[in-house]
Structure 1
Amino acid sequence: MIDHVAYDEAASVLSISFRGTGRYLYHGVPRAIYDGLCAAESLGAYFNAHIKDHFRCERDPARRRFGPGA
């Protein structure tokens, strides 16, 4: 489900790349949440419990994709 994660501590923005759907930015994410994600046994389970629907999210505006919903 999750391919790659990155964190911008100065901006408190978590970037998550998902297989098949692209990269999304989560705003206002504390460092502890990023650290927890990195240490989680299951990235998907941690994401669903602690990130999804808890932070403002947007599709990465710098990434252009072709296809439905692009």
Structure 2
Amino acid sequence: MQRQPVTSSNVVSIGYDPASQTLEIEVREQAIYQYFDVPADVSDGLLRAPSHGKFIWANIRDRYRYQRVDQRAS
């Protein structure tokens, strides 16, 4: 999945696949998470949010099923 870099203290990049409604988030802890069945408006809200981390905690984490899919090389 193609992700776009974002300016954030905790989030490195964000990607979204509308066909599968999968949201992919790369975080600074060198991990990538995929969240499933995420509506497009939630993904759009994340990209527009002034704080990506706060948006994730308030609107995504603990609301959507997810899995850790990759760990970047250090």
Aligned partner letter, 1:34: S
Write the distance in 2 (CA, Å) between the matches of 1:37 and 1:65: 22
Task: Give the share of equivalent positions with the same residue, in percent.
Answer: 34
**TM-score by structure 2 length?**
0.80
Go from structure 1 to structure 2 and tell me whether the alpha carbon gap of 1:19 and 1:11 turns closer, same or farther (over 3 Å shift). same
Gaps of 5+ in 1: none
Asked if 1:22 corresponds to 2:31, the answer is yes
TM-score by length of 1: 0.85
Q: CA RMSD in A?
A: 1.4
Runs of 4+ that moved beyond 4 A? none
Larger Rg: 1
5+ residue gaps, structure 2:
1-9
